[in-house]
Structure 1
Amino acid sequence: MSEKYLIGVDGSEQSRVALAWGLARATERGATVQLLHVADDSFLSESVAFLSEAQKASEQMLEAEVAYARSLGFTGEISGSAVVGHPIAEVEEASKSADLLILGQHSGTRFAGSFFGTRAVKVAATAHCPVAVIPTVDATPNAGVVVGIDGSEASQRAIAYAAEEASFRGAPLIAVYAWMPPLTPGLEYLWSEELVESQRSAAEEAIAIGVAGLAERYPDLEVRREIIQAPPVAALVQAAEGAQLLVVGSRGRGGISRLLLGSVSHGVLQALPCPVIVTRA
């Protein structure tokens, strides 16, 4: 069965960059595409007339974006859904039947239909499938796929996803481990040769465990290991400048954690050095 990609559209330049990215990926992988436009009813009158006009406008927007998708030369299976409602809730519900949700970078506005920007962080936290957020910057040709490693279950899922992506693209997998020396309140960073060596050993062990088995599964995959002394978000953003893709793991959707994306995932989605995919449990 082919994969299904759900792409959020609103007619903006940022949205269309994400749409083009998603269509290109769908073409490469034989995936079907569903476009989704949500007219945000938070700022609309609850009268039947207003909601009816909002639905009509949403359908017109969707029709225009389907036509735009075809104008890009996409010949695969494409469908669309136009709704009026709360963007986060509507996207979460639609993501239940998708294999990948794709959104564009957006500065965020109060216009109906805009559910990108900071809302992309909330969508990534509540979605039922991996979420890709696409910036307007171009990737460097032959650049790698970057993944963050910290030894957690979330990062293990991210590594598996990133390895498959890198193998499919014929790109190197760049495994990044970031560390900072402990900070004691009221004191400077505590440095010693023993501390540095212990941190490096822990980093090398975490990366070795994280990439274990990849050579057997992807014999032609080049794996590069980078240990960076910097806060995790800064390290990943630096490593992913111009990359084809950056993959980070989420905490999952259990209890209150479904509303908390995590500081690292949140941080890279705010910076967006390249296309970012947040994997799910």
Structure 2
Amino acid sequence: MELRTLRYFVAVAEELHFGRAAARLHMSQPPLSRVIKRLESDLGSPLLHRSAAGVTLTPAGATLLDEARALLDRAERVRARVAAAAGTAILTVGMLADGSDRGAARLAAAFRRRHPGVEIRIRETDLTDPTCGLRAGLVDLALTRAPFDETGLNVYELRTDPVGALLCADDPLARRDRLALADLADRRWFRFPDGTDPLWQAYWNGGEPREGPVVRAVQECVQAVLWNGTVGIAPLGHDLPGQLAVVPLADMAPSRVVVAANEADANPLIHSFARIATAAYRD
């Protein structure tokens, strides 16, 4: 029974959906199904009930889930201790400097409990680089938002946040309960500099080319709205000045909070960080 097989099983058992588990593991569904069937055959017991209504755990599957989590946690601790002994017990984490992600506090506490000897260095970046220096080799991991070009990266989704139009509070549209992108078609938007990741730029501009002031940081976005009456997109739930409002956008996909790392980086602490982050943001 390999650790990789156990990781596959845990993903299916936690998602209770082969498609979502396959996406989480960055693989296609058929080989994942084959691995689980082979595991059931090796153990001589069904682990999952499969039906049109979905997937549920059998009593044997629930037991294996508890044991598998314990084994995987233990394996991560072993790898982390070896990494520490080798003098690699430092991780640099890039974060967008928006101060809005409360899940990061839970992640920090959970990681500190699991790896008390590992030093975490935080590198805050502006909104022009969604990978927070990952591609440039400035950080080991990025705790950020998607979408962006994921080529060569492992990306793990932690949470999705609905988004809305960021407006001045006295804007006539701010009195609406909900808006559509078409309601903002004739408005000036804040936008990011040329050369910013196209997927990232397109998402925050609602999928259309926009005209308006160029910004690099969250506070510049806020000031662009306050001073110029421009509009933009922001996750719901941000702490904003009283002069601003965020109105939900009915036709915008939610913003994905993710953790990303380079595929080629074999540092075991990176995999541990990703697993702890997934659990911390789920709680």
Query: Does TM-score exceed 0.5, indicating one fold?
Result: no
Structure with higher Rg: it is: 2
TM-score, normalised on structure 1? Answer: 0.29
